Amino acid sequence: MHLASKSRLHDAALLRTVLLPKSHPVAEAMSAAGSDFNKSQKLGELAGIPPHLYIWRAAINAAMAVEQASATDRELLSQHVAAITSPDLLTNRVHCCTATSAYQPNTTKVTLSVSNELLITLDSLI
């Protein structure tokens, strides 16, 4: 039990979890990206791209299109998109990016973990 509790404490310090309505554009984009990734992976079209990077890209693109996003957030996200020319650049920067159904009905649980250099981008995304 001691190791499990330490592990949960460690995860809690590193992960950001946000609950979004299933109808939120970012939640929809992340869920769709996960499904698309699985389909493409079965066909062998996505050799070497980790699923969390595929979902991260979908989340960033969806967040830029959200009407409620501030101009500053949109600018930071667009700078991030322009700076990332290859998924390989995110391999050591985005550690976790998932969207799963939450216990609460019609809610998506988004779990994210990034390196320190992407914390500002993460704040703009959330």
Please give the pLDDT value at position 27: 92
Strands 16-21 and 107-114: antiparallel
Task: Evaluate whether residue 36 is within a structural domain.
Answer: yes
Determine the Cα–Cα distance for residues 112 and 126; give it in Å rounded to an integer. 10
Task: Evaluate whether residue 64 is within a structural domain.
Answer: yes
Residue among 42, 45, 49, 44 at smallest CA distance from 84: 49
Please give the pLDDT value at position 26: 92
Task: Evaluate whether residue 96 is within a structural domain.
Answer: yes
Task: Evaluate whether residue 2 is within a structural domain.
Answer: no
Beta carbons of 90 and 53 less than 8 angstroms apart: yes
In the predicted model, residues of the chain with pLDDT beneath 50 are: none
Please give the pLDDT value at position 28: 93
The proportion of the chain whose per-residue pLDDT surpasses 90, expressed as a percent, equals 25
Task: Give the residue numbers spanning the domain of 72.
Answer: 11-125
Name the domain count of the chain: 1
Task: Evaluate whether residue 26 is within a structural domain.
Answer: yes
Task: Evaluate whether residue 28 is within a structural domain.
Answer: yes
